[in-house]
Structure 1
Amino acid sequence: MIWVISRFIVEAYKKVSDSGKDKIVEKTGGNSSIMTIPDSGCVMENGASCLPCTPEEEKKIVTDLRNESERNLKEGNLYFVISSSWFRKWERYVGIDGDENLIGNQSSDSRHINGASSVVAERPGPIDNSDIVENGSDSDGKGNDIQLRRVLMEGQDYVLVPQGVWEKLHGWYKGGPELPRKMILQGVYHKKFDVEVYPLCLKLIDSRDESQSTIWLSRKVWLSFA
């Protein structure tokens, strides 16, 4: 059986350019509709647009992801360590002030258009965690293969961001190195969530050939053997 659709016959498709974006004009049954889509040269394989976000959009996305993470705290969640130096530059860029910033402090030299300020802050470069890792750490490494400098202070030297926030920031800015840390549940009577920034480090030496290896253990795993 052949079905004939007479009301919605597509008569023509025409592609026109407008302000760097594509418009598809579709005529159906005497009526026309226009759909604007991102330029075909700026569409990723998954269909998402690769057009850069505005500072305001970045701020909203990160704030929403942070709030979602706080509503879904559970053991095993991943957080990522980011240098406070880089993160403050990003905060200034998106216009986060001292009352709402994600790390508790902000330099007074904010240049983003915010209140009385009239100079737009520069977009930060790639994420740079080199100032919080040990010299000699492999900048291309991941996770616990890279050692954090000892005696770092949260808020002053580094910030912790949920996995979703890290993925967005890294997608926008690249850089690194990547420093994931797990959330654990601590306490006997008064339990609380804590991100294990410094897991236990064990250096093993094989007496047969003097080869060395390093393993990292969570404090919770260590206590389970005690």
Structure 2
Amino acid sequence: MANILIADDEKEIIKLLRMYIEKEGVTVYEAYDGEMAYMILKNYTIDLAIIDIMMPKLNGFDLIKRVRRTMDVPIMVISAKVDLSDRVLGLELGADDYITKPFEPLEVAAKVKARLRRIQSMGGKEAEDTITVGEVVLHLKECVLYKKNEVIPLTKVEYMVLKMFMENPGRVFTKEQIYENAWGDDYVMDDNSIRVIISRLREKLGGDYITTIRGLGYRLEKHE
């Protein structure tokens, strides 16, 4: 049984989402402001957080920043803030997805289902303990990245993309392949989301690790 947090100051939004999401066999926790959402995340095991941006006490952007300091729970933003700058900011702060209001409940339910399926698949199969490329080491069972023995935190999406790259250094992956691996078949590809993830990984790894192959996609360079 998975646990999902829905944080929104509009109770009708929570009620609507709950009606669709609970059909997927999950337990739903409700929060009506950012502080309440943070307390739930601190005190309960939450597999996925769906949060609004414009909440009282602690807005969604500040909530994401606070959560990302100590937690790697997947975060899906659903917000009336539709400007590209807001979407980019949400993703750069550590959100795994950004959906604008008004939204289609069935689409959100499908994304939740895909996300939970991906989380379960990550935890449900045996794998080698680590993958090493150059100075970076990815610990698969812990989902933790190390560079020169320094811990570098990763979101779930960053982990999925980096794992794919590090398992295949030198191979070029198209945007479609990256999106399918990170977000799943139930998602509609968003170039901007991919650019943000690649930018965040480059910042964490160092600029010489991931190369853009014009017109094709991206490649993790081999490092001896």
State if a TM-score over 0.5 links the two structures: no
- Which category of TM-score, normalised to the shorter sequence, fits these structures? under 0.3
**TM-score normalized by the length of structure 1:** 0.24
**TM-score normalized by the length of structure 2:** 0.24
Bigger Rg, which one: 1
The structure with more strand, counted as a fraction of residues:
1
The structure with more helix, counted as a fraction of residues:
2
